Structure 1
Amino acid sequence: MSDTGFGDFEFERKFFVHELPSSAAADPTPALIVQAYLFAADGYAVRVRVQGPAPAELPETTGDLVDALGETAFGTMAAKGPAIGGTRYEAERELDGLVAGQIVRRAEHVIAKVRYSLWIDEDGWILDRFLGTNAPLVVAEVERSGPVVDLQIPAFCATEISEDERFKNERLAYQPYGEWAEAYRRELALVGPKFVHSLGENRLSES
C-alpha cells in the first residue's frame, strides 16, 4: 500500500525512445528485470517479476537470465487493472526471489529488460532497454505519487505512448515489439509525435 493516500494505484507516463541516451547509459547500477505474465486480458494482468543488478554479460534465454540474477534476486507479484488517464490500479506484493525465479523460468509469456535510472529536474525517470524478441525497444517512464501533470518532457522522448496499448508490458509479452518494430517506425514517421494534453502543460526540452 502507498502512504500517499492513493493506496494501490500508480501514476505514470511513458514515452517511446529511439535509442538509449548516454545520460541513462551512464547509470552505474542498472537493474535486470525478468517478468512473466500469468494472465493478461482487457487491461487486467497478473505479473511475477524477479530482478537484481544487471550483469555485465547478458545471457539470451529466460532461464539463464534468471540464473544470472543469483540467489539474492528480489521477487514480486502484482495484479493490475486497466490504465485510465495515466492512473492504473496495481497491487504489488513481495515474493521469495527463488520462488519468483522458478515461476518466471516456467512461464510462457516473458519479457526481459535492463532498467536505467536518472533524475531530470524534480522527476526521477527510468528507461527500459528491452531484450530478446522485444529488442530494440527503449521506453522512458516517469512516475509520481499523484497524477503526472505539468511535465518537463526530455528531448530523448520521441512520442508519448502512455495510452498506446501496444506498449503495455503485458501486451509485449504476447506480441513482441520486434515483430512490428519497422511498421511502427514508419507509422511514427508518417503521423509525427503525439503527447497527452489532458494532464496540464507539457514542456518539451530542446536538449
Structure 2
Amino acid sequence: MALEIERRFLVATDGWRPLAGAAQPLRQGYLAGSREGVTVRLRLRDSDQGRAEQAWLTLKAPAAGFARHEFEYAIPVADAEALWQLAPHRLTKTRFAIACPGGDWVVDVFAAENAPLVLAEVELPAADAPLDLPPWCGRELTGDDRWSNAALAHQPLASRPREWLKAFDLL
C-alpha cells in the first residue's frame, strides 16, 4: 500500500530559487472527492509548448496527521485531456524540485485564481523523521485542509475573503 508522508509550508522568501530544478508546468483536475472519502485527481505535466507530455490519475485517502494513502497510475495523455475537460475543479501551477536535505522537497508556484500563492512540500520517510526547515519556509500548513490542492481547486484564493488572505500575508 502506498503511503505519502508530507508536510506543507507557505514560502516566505525567494531563497529557494537558487536550489530549484527545472520548471514543471502542471494542471490538476479534481474529478471526485470528499473529506471523508477518497479524492480522485488528474494531473497533467505540460511541455514548454503547453502540450501535455505525461498524465496520472491519483487516488488519495483523507490524511491522518502527516500521512495518507496515495495510489498513482500513469494514464494515456489523450485520456487525460478528455478527463481535464470533465473535471469540475481545476488548478494550474509550476512545480520545482528543490535540492535541499531532509526529504524530497518541491515548491509549487500557483497561477491564475490561486496566484500569488507559493507553497513548499516535503515528503518524508517517516512521520517522526527529523526536519531542519530551510530559512525560506514560513508558516506550516500541514493538516489545514484549506490549503490542500483539492481545496484550492474548489475554492481558489481569489474567492476567499480579503481578511483571511491578509491573515496569511497574501495581500
TM range (shorter): 0.7 to 0.9
Q: Which of the pair has more CA radius of gyration?
A: 1
Gaps spanning 5+ residues in structure 1: where? Answer: 1-6, 56-66, 190-207
* SS of structure 2 residue aligned to 1:153: coil
User: What does the per-residue CA deviation read over 1:79-106, in whole Å, with 9 as the maximum and x for residues that have no partner?
Assistant: 1111111001111111012211221133
Tell me which stretches of 4 or more aligned residues in structure 1 moved more than 3 Å. Answer: 25-28
Taking the aligned partners of 2:123 and 2:19, their CA distance within structure 1 comes to 21
TM-score (norm 1): 0.73
CA distance in 1 between partners of 2:128 and 2:23 (Å): 24
Q: 1:147 to 1:163 in 2, by over 3 A?
A: same
Determine the C-alpha separation between the residues in 2 that align with 1:77 and 1:181. 32
1:1-207 to 2 correspondence within 5 Å? 7-18=1-12, 21-24=14-17, 27-43=20-36, 44-53=38-47, 55=48, 68-70=50-52, 73-147=53-127, 149-180=129-160, 182-188=162-168
Structure 2: gaps (5+ residues)? none
SS of aligned partner of 1:85: coil
In structure 1, C-alpha distance between the alignment counterparts of 2:29 and 2:128, rounded to whole Å: 27
CA RMSD in angstroms, aligned pairs only: 2.1
TM normalised by structure 2 equals: 0.87
Range that drifts further, 111-120 or 144-153? 144-153
- CA deviations 1:50-76 (Å, max 9, x no partner) are 1144x3xxxxxxxxxxx7124xx1111
